[in-house]
Structure 1
């Protein structure tokens, strides 16, 4: 049975996701509509990807009876209101990461999905990457022994990405790329909560973070360590060290297509490549696997995925909240949910969520 997609926003990741969707069986997936705040951009997107309908507002797409599931790729602060709009109209939602600006917003969306009885998932494509699935199997079966440490670096110069420097647009690097590092640790220690988190980094006068180093301590002397930056290039590799081996995730680790035995340099797993020309991001064909998961869940009548569950989203965002707290990054969305002691370095104006939503729409 086919599911019919609506693409909400026409940015770079939305284009790559749509291109990846079109590599799947057309009897199972079809993009039937796209929406942007600018009708001309929506029309251009529709022409590029042969989408039959295009809209100049997200509300029009939400009300389209042909759309069954939506991929929400709007700016981060608008995720809550846009996802709610889709769910109000009976649409299932795959929401680009981060699902919310903090754990509280994620809880709000999850409660809304339950009430609306629709599927909701955060689009963390790494979880569905066959390389990560294989890594998880190796860890859970203890094929490499017991995991003791996970490590990664993620650095790409991104000062030219305007939104990353603007707090009102959800700027900052922790929610943009640091989230991948936290997810790696979540996979390596399979959903275990760290006992201690230590984070430090660089903030701009605007109060957004451009780089950070984080250590997470787990029981029994186990740990994860990672550094991420939007200022410099880094190796962008990851490794998981266990008592009987070390597995390397080749660059780019967040969407790697190769697992390697670090001691022998032997390739132990490789994701079959699907040609996808003219994409904006590396290995974007891997986005197809999260789309397949959405369809499987919807076909089974599930409201959430067992691979990227609501609990997974909440656990990761709890860690992200703590990292941001230690760095001193406070968004307007945090003011009503955080303790007054957590509002240092905010520099925030009192803009409520409804105002931000109206601007986004």
Structure 2
């Protein structure tokens, strides 16, 4: 029973894109017609069977013929032959010589109904891998897995929604909307999918259409926090500030312990010129945070800007210092801090802040000219 092990990162294997592999020849080499039992991570606790296959073609070659063969390496998904040989040396413990025999094994997957060994839930296996890749931010790979899972079950609403989310993160908003629409054909009242479609429309620039879809979700469940949050944001993008504020005020009653709600309300009030009220919202956002990791540095920076407009420079400086403690290399935060320090007459400290900007962005004109202005006072 020939067994092949693949890395769980070898996504092309389960999507069907890859139908061959290169392995060191066994004492009894593989031949056409052999049945393969293929696994992910065979020698780890994450071991998982992925498919059975028939060997359809075999090409024999030596290790010497693999060295320097960049074309073959790229066909196998490696950057070049050096990358491929590095993987082989790791796979075989570095025990390789020029005369070692290798095989290029071409295979064809066997339908699960024809498997001789233990059967698996193929869709569940692929979906799980897709979710792991999605959660780790590898959206280019996860979209391939979601596609493979959807080929097994094109009407799975969960998969259609997840693929839509995945495509949105890749900036493929119209493709994402197509996935959401397929899911909504089956569940037209699913507020989460409606909301995701509204977000995709918003990101694609179709703000009015986004509001129409958001209206549908709102009509189905007017007290849903996630629907209200994005409804408020969409109204804000349309310039309907009063309507957006009413939505955020309603949301605060429902989800008042969520710092993002208070941050969004503070941002809106800042844009409306209601600076004192904005600061109250930002303060509340800080208050309800369980720890610093939940604090929104951009919101704290905006709070600082609001304090500047109110003439409360010491409070503004506190905000910028807090924002920088969360994102120490953020150029905008460092610039803002430098400006406040200038206004407070602390020119040496201001120069230090501007130098930090110039260290990361040598062509930053604002930092350069503000630093020059500070030097005139020393």
Q: TM-score range by the shorter chain?
A: under 0.3
More helix by share: 2
TM-score by length of 2: 0.22
Highest Rg: 1 or 2? 2
TM-score by length of 1: 0.23
Q: Which has the higher contact order (CA 8 A, sep 6+)?
A: 1
